[in-house]
Each structure stands twice: as structure tokens, then as C-alpha cells.
Amino acid sequence: MAMNIAENKTLDYALRALQLIFAIIVMGTDGYAIHAFHGHTVYVHFKFGNFYAYYGVPDAWGFLMFCAGWTVLTVAFHLIAGIRFADRALMGYLRVAVEAVAVLSWLAGFIAVAVQISTETCSAGKNSCGLLTAATVFGALEWLLFIVTAARTVMLVFNSSRKLKTSTTKSDADV
């Protein structure tokens, strides 16, 4: 039963389509939040001197954008690898590695942005906070989708019914 679920192409295409749609939503909401965020300059006074510090867009917001871009590449890789190189063992291991990187990057991405939502970086007076909340929610859903597809990919690669080819040469005992 589990093998039939892992080999279901229709379910795989539906999950990949959802991953692509959620990645586009995250790109749009996070991109607009980055655009709408206005950095600010702070005058800092130290004993050794004074300087102006500029606080721009937090790095976590850009990392979430990277995760969405990585998802587009991942979906394209899995569609091409599933069609052209489905019977290659090395390609199966590469598919598992790409899924693992995607799972870990989405986990780190949505948690890093979720932590910053409640800080002064995203206060209630700024209009990008609602967009960041939406991007974080869709990032968490994207992570769950990648957990499902990673489990399916691992089951498909490591539980495959490929037979090892046996040697057709005669043994030395007959000589």
C-alpha cells in the first residue's frame, strides 16, 4: 500500500503544483514586505566616537525569498529527473538530497521570519507585518508539503524493487 502511494504520479504532480503555487505566494508577499520596509538610520554615541548606523531589511526576509526561489528550482529538477532519469540510482539519491535541503531551508526560513514578527523590526505601525505573517504561514505550509514529498521520495528511492543484475560469466570451478 505504501509503495502505491509513493509511485502515484497524479499525487506527485498535485503536490508539486501546490509547492509551486505556495512558493509564488511567498515570493509575492515577502517581496512586497521587503519593498515596503523602510530602513532607518540611528545616531550612535560611543566613548570613542559617534557614527550613523543604518538598519535595513533583516536577512531572514531575504532567506525566505531564497527558499521560494529554491523551491522553483527543486520542482523543475524533480519533474525533469522523474521523466528523463527515473531508473538511475544516482539520480534517486540526488532527488533525496534536494528534498532534504528544501525541507531544512524552509524550516529555517519560516522560523527565522516568525521570530522577527514580534520584535521592533516589525511593529504594529508598519504595513509590512501582515504580509510577513502571511509569508510565514505559507512558508510553514510549504515546509509541511516538503515533508510529505520528501517522505514519498525516500520511500520511492529506498524501497524500489530494482533487481541487481547478476553476472553471466561462468565460475572458475568449472575450468
Most confident range, picked from 37-51, 74-88, 113-127, 142-156? 142-156
Stretch 4-20: mean pLDDT: 84
**Is residue 11 in some structural domain?**
yes
Q: How confident is the model at residue 5 (pLDDT cuts 50, 70, 90)?
A: low
Looking from the CA of 113 toward its CB, the CA atoms found within 13 Å total: 32
**Is residue 175 in some structural domain?**
no
Q: How confident is the model at residue 169 (pLDDT cuts 50, 70, 90)?
A: low
pLDDT at 166 over 70: no
**Is residue 13 in some structural domain?**
yes
**Is residue 45 in some structural domain?**
yes
Stretch 133-140: mean pLDDT: 94
Q: How confident is the model at residue 6 (pLDDT cuts 50, 70, 90)?
A: low
**Is residue 168 in some structural domain?**
no
**Is residue 73 in some structural domain?**
yes
**Is residue 171 in some structural domain?**
no
Q: What is the pTM of this model?
A: 0.78
Number of domains making up the chain: 1
Mean pLDDT of the chain: 81
pLDDT at 108 over 90: yes
Range of the domain at 107: 2-160
CA distances from 145 to 24, 67, 153, 169 (A): 14, 13, 12, 47
**Is residue 52 in some structural domain?**
yes
Min mean pLDDT across 8-12, 65-69, 83-87 is at 83-87
Closest CA to 28 of 144, 161, 104, 128: 128
Comparing 41 with 101, the larger pLDDT belongs to 101
CATH number of the domain to which 114 belongs: 1.20.120
Q: What is the pLDDT of residue 173?
A: 58
User: Which residue's C-alpha cell is 529538477?
Assistant: 77
Segment (H or E) for 50: strand 50-55
Stretch 161-165: mean pLDDT: 46
Is there a contact between 12 and 82 (Cβ–Cβ < 8 Å)?
A: yes
